[in-house]
Amino acid sequence: MALLGPNGSGKSTILKILAFIENPTSGEVIFQSNEVNYKNTEKERMQSTLVFQKTTVFSTSVYNNIAYGLKVRKVPQSTRDEEIKRALKLVKLEGFEKRNAKKLSGGEQQRVAIARALVLKTKLLLLDEPTANLDPKNAGILEEVIDRVNRENKVTIVMATHNMFQAKTVPHRIALMDEGKISEVGAPAEVFNKLSRNLASFAAIDNTFIGEAKITSKGTTIVNLGNNLQVEVADQKEGKVSIFVNPQDIILCQQAVKSSARNVLEGKIAEIIDLDSLVKLKVDVGKVFLVQITKRSFNELALNIGADVCIVFKASSVQIL
């Protein structure tokens, strides 16, 4: 199950309540037909675990990080060693036991965090935007792990995301959140269908835009987003629609280029968000697009705020709802 919604819509809060580390201001939490209250929180907490959006590791070795929850559960040393080895293999960090967790890259730290949650084998696994700040390689590894655990261990996973692409492809069910409330729940296809009729509030999700769609003579769709901005989409759809472009599918260039991609938009860099191994850029081309590039490319292009750039993406990279 995925929770989809813009920043500040309450995704993290609901996850913290489900992890029993925050109390709801009103209402009650029922977990496996038990009401969870101050008397049994510490016991119920053993059944669920949360991986935070902001990667947090204890400043000790990778082994000690992953062992923490097992030690609390009084798992014997031999079982512990085995479980930790297996979990590290799953997140592709074999042999990292003795490394200092704080000295790992952001992506590696987040993989340690996932391994640390997985060894506990809780009934409920909560993930708060686990891949939001990761480069595609690390994000890919994590998505694979999440998928595998969900299939093989039959763990219930609740994941928060504001990446439309992830919400559409990874989960079985999604819930839309806005201003602290769940507005829609259902299978992704079903919810996205409804979403197209009730779009306005979701414009806050990155790279999601609302526009007027028209099918062209070439069989593609042109979506007019306002501000003289048009985007060509491969799928056919008419009327009021919302579109989503995965930040990873956008190419950044310094000059307008001739390209086979149907969408070449010129604009200026409005904001630079420097993450561990990747950089997210907000590019204003009439509407603000979020673009994700590696740190290396960022340094090579020597970009700064206000620089003229151009973004390129294929018509087939645009999801239309």
| Interacting residues toward another protein by CB under 8 A | 16, 19-21, 42, 45-46, 48-50, 52, 54, 56, 58-60, 68-69, 72-73, 99-100, 103, 116-117, 120, 126
Please report how close the Cβ of residue 59 comes to another protein at its closest, in angstroms: 6
Determine contact, residues 49/122, Cβ cutoff 8 Å: yes
In the bound state with another protein, the residue whose beta carbon lies nearer, of 41 and 254, is: 41
Tell me the CB-side half-sphere exposure of residue 164, using CA atoms within 13 A.
28
In the bound state with another protein, the residue whose beta carbon lies nearer, of 45 and 237, is: 45
Please report how close the Cβ of residue 53 comes to another protein at its closest, in angstroms: 10
Please report how close the Cβ of residue 50 comes to another protein at its closest, in angstroms: 4
Q: Which residues contact 279 (CB under 8 A, 6 or more apart)?
A: 272, 273, 292, 293, 294, 295, 298
Please report how close the Cβ of residue 42 comes to another protein at its closest, in angstroms: 5
In the bound state with another protein, the residue whose beta carbon lies nearer, of 99 and 295, is: 99
Please report how close the Cβ of residue 63 comes to another protein at its closest, in angstroms: 14
Strands 251-253 and 34-36, bridge-based pairing: unpaired
In the bound state with another protein, the residue whose beta carbon lies nearer, of 68 and 165, is: 68
Please report how close the Cβ of residue 92 comes to another protein at its closest, in angstroms: 13
What is the rounded end-to-end Cα distance, in angstroms, of the chain? 20
Q: Whose CA is closest to 108, among 145, 141, 69?
A: 141
Determine contact, residues 63/84, Cβ cutoff 8 Å: yes
In the bound state with another protein, the residue whose beta carbon lies nearer, of 21 and 187, is: 21
Q: Which helix (H) or strand (E) holds 65?
A: helix 62-72
Our CA angle for 196, 201, 205, nearest 5°, is: 85
Does residue 81 sit in helix, strand or coil?
Answer: helix
CA distance 236 to 227: 22
In the bound state with another protein, the residue whose beta carbon lies nearer, of 135 and 178, is: 135
